[in-house]
Amino acid sequence: MTKPQNFHPSHIVVDWGTTSLRAFLISPDGTIGDRMESERGIQFIADDAYEAELTTAISGWIDTYGILPILALGMVTSRNGWVEVPYVSCPATPADLAKGIVSRHLTNGCPVLLLPGITDPARTPFPDVMRGEETQIVGFGLDKDICVVLPGTHSKWARIGDGRIQGFQTFVTGEIFALLSKHSFIAKAAGDETGAMDWAAFDRGAEQAGRALPETDALLSLLFSARTGILAGQMAATETRDYISGLLIGHEFRQADLCGWIDRQAEIGGEIGIVGNDGLNDRYERVARSLNLTVRKGREEAAIDGALAIASHRKSKITHAA
Amino acid sequence: MTKPQNFHPSHIVVDWGTTSLRAFLISPDGTIGDRMESERGIQFIADDAYEAELTTAISGWIDTYGILPILALGMVTSRNGWVEVPYVSCPATPADLAKGIVSRHLTNGCPVLLLPGITDPARTPFPDVMRGEETQIVGFGLDKDICVVLPGTHSKWARIGDGRIQGFQTFVTGEIFALLSKHSFIAKAAGDETGAMDWAAFDRGAEQAGRALPETDALLSLLFSARTGILAGQMAATETRDYISGLLIGHEFRQADLCGWIDRQAEIGGEIGIVGNDGLNDRYERVARSLNLTVRKGREEAAIDGALAIASHRKSKITHAA
């Protein structure tokens, strides 16, 4: 690569998930000097091939800048990934997360710090889990008492406050939407995806899902409205996909609210954080605003800030111990 | 075909759905003299090929017994089927359904009576619909005030009483289960289907879904327990499929209850009818019994009794008018 002037990298941050690998060349203040992305998610990597895969992915940067510490997060630290890093339990501070880091070295000499995911033992019926989103949340900032949602295949609702991630809950909204739009009878009517978002259809779905009636709270029943709306001549078949997206995200907000995640202040609404890079933030923001919530947006690459913040706690700890 | 002794057919009943065609040679009391089934569901039939398809399917019976009236029900009467028969509105008696019949003749001389589906205009957000299940419900019998569930891809909960189908609601439970078990990340852990039902895993799912907590009522969240249970060491991966089946059917019962379908008599439980032939009745019966409900089972081929009952109203009406 060409060396940009006045850019002095201190770290490489690697967000390695199930379906993709994304890496960033970072200066100490979190500025991105360069980035790469590939579809080499962990589902495609053999158990003994992680080191070689990572070494190859970042070789251009190492050739140019020499050895750099690598901060790795996401499903690469799971049981199905490179190194299984035990979950840190909520409530968790960045210092708690730093204590959970597991380190390795690549053969090129780069140290790799594998950042832990977190678990919330308070959830029912089993402790909930995340890997990667906790680092985005730390990057968003823990200085305010607020609920943060991270939209995604498995979206996460988290409570932060008192400098900690207090707890969280997963909703598999994105996965159900993908299943319905790709494989279902219900959405068969929709035809092929055109790429243009039909916000009116989306809003209509979100509004139906938020009506607080037993019938509309019954998601398995509400989903059938994507068919009955067409049969009743109330909806066009082409609206189906975005209507279902609205139904599901609206339902997620309604259920998250019933589970106590959303701060409600009767007259003035409340506030919610939205963090993520799955291309869904606009949809979540739209539903939040329709519920009279003020939205505080995280930066798209919040994971970078979070990874640096967590790593800094580890560094200082080592220094103090020395 | 060989003519069975002492069997005198009066009708052919054809249940022609999206994925299959089933036909029955019937005597006046509903006894089945012969039956055939093929995978020639309406999704595979061209618009101008229905008559030929049906004529071929029943030709053996016509050759043996001569011309017989055909009673046809199911998605064959839908917009995507042979003849679109308008829905009859709830509350509906068998006589109301008979008035909605549309008739045709095959070129071999057989009259075809196409039985209507029904709609419930009281449902939210759009009127609900069924085609075929209403005939099963009539066959089950309308002489008792009871809630009847018809398990299936799109299962139906109906209220009968006063000799009428009073109303109903659809839950797309079977479709969501099929999507999750065939295509999802969540159920990927389950591996291939073995065929043996794990009732303990099913019961566990149904029990979790019935707990009446905001977290377990949030289906999009509850589904993630199929993964977290494994990560927590509380469940084996092989339990996933039947656990999810239990979660979904348990959730369906819980939501149907919240929507007011289930009769609850505090101390003594209540009663529920289960009708259908989708191979799911055992699962629904198990959940019903776990909720202390008495189960009244319909016969598997309730649609035959229903079709004869509805057709008999048409006949008497014509006679009276003559």
Residue of B nearest to A258 (CA): B214
Residues on chain A touching B179 (C-beta within 8 angstroms): 176, 179-180, 183-184
Burial degree of A312 (CB within 10 A; 0-12, 13-18, 19+): middle
CA distance B310 to chain A (A): 24
CA distance A7 to chain B (A): 40
Q: Using 50, 70 and 90 to split pLDDT, how confident is the model at B322?
A: very low
Q: What is the pLDDT at residue A206?
A: 98
Q: Which two tokens stand for residue A222?
A: 């509400």
Q: What is the mean pLDDT of residues A182-192?
A: 78
Residue of B nearest to A187 (CA): B175
Q: Using the predicted structure, report yes or no on whether residue B187 has a pLDDT greater than 90.
A: no
CA dist B303 and B30 (Å) reads 10
Q: Using the predicted structure, report yes or no on whether residue A64 has a pLDDT greater than 80.
A: yes
Residues on chain A touching B42 (C-beta within 8 angstroms): none
CA distance B213 to chain A (A): 9
Q: Using the predicted structure, report yes or no on whether residue B319 has a pLDDT greater than 60.
A: no
A129, A221, A234 ranked by CB distance to B170: nearest: A221
User: Hey, are the CB atoms on B175 and A185 less than 8 Å from each other?
Assistant: yes
Q: Which domains does chain A have, with CATH numbers?
A: 173-297 (3.30.420.310)
Q: Which two tokens stand for residue A1?
A: 């690569």
Residues on chain B touching A233 (C-beta within 8 angstroms): none
Residue of A nearest to B172 (CA): A220
Q: What is the mean pLDDT of residues B207-225?
A: 96
Give the model confidence (pLDDT) of A264-307 as tens digits: 765 556 999 999 887 899 999 999 999 999 999 999 889 999 99
Give the model confidence (pLDDT) of B51-62 as tens digits: 999 999 999 999
Residues on chain A touching B218 (C-beta within 8 angstroms): 169, 171, 255-256, 258-259
Q: Using the predicted structure, report yes or no on whether residue A5 has a pLDDT greater than 80.
A: no
Q: Using the predicted structure, report yes or no on whether residue B76 has a pLDDT greater than 80.
A: yes
Q: Using the predicted structure, report yes or no on whether residue B191 has a pLDDT greater than 80.
A: no
DSSP codes, A91-148 = SB-HHHHHHT-EEEE-TTS-EEEE---EEETTSSSS-EEESSHHHHHHHH-SSS-EEE
B183, B224, B258 ranked by CB distance to A214: nearest: B258
Residue type, B297: K
- The answer to whether the pTM exceeds 0.90 is yes
